[in-house]
Amino acid sequence: MLVILVVSFTLSQIPYPLNRDSAPLWLVLKALNLCFASTVISTITVLNFSLAALLAVTLGLPLTFSCSSISKLRSRLKGLLYVFLASGWLFFYQETQEAIWNWEILSVWFAPFVCLIYMPLAIQAGIVCALPYL
């Protein structure tokens, strides 16, 4: 988790030229993030509608509200909130142990799904918040 924070804060410090003809980097990353999330949700709708509905609420709403802020402190706090949203379940040892046991023994795909789909999208939303507002 520390690596994720270091990478997002390093990315937020990279200056790029301000050009009125192109969109800010955070806005482009947010659009790509929403596009990928909508593709995942649409595909999952065919396979498991209840999971897609849950994913649309738990992933769609936070991704929609992710945006950069003028205040560096506020944008970094929002970035930390998104990183905690993505990896918060790892702090609960019993839940993590149960998710891994369910995956290994019962072939329940909760842990891989969260690690491969949900976490990267939420972490990208945190990076969107940590990028400078230009």
- Condensed to tens digits (0 to 9), the pLDDT of residues 80-127 reads 888 888 888 888 889 889 988 988 888 888 888 888 888 999 888 888
- pTM attached to this predicted model: 0.77
Is-contact 126 83, C-beta < 8 A? yes
Cα 83 from Cα 68, distance rounded (Å):
15
- Condensed to tens digits (0 to 9), the pLDDT of residues 34-64 reads 999 999 999 999 988 988 998 899 888 888 8
Q: Alpha carbon of 84 to those of 7, 87, 90, 105: distances in Å?
A: 15, 5, 9, 28
Cα 48 from Cα 19, distance rounded (Å):
43
Cα 63 from Cα 61, distance rounded (Å):
5
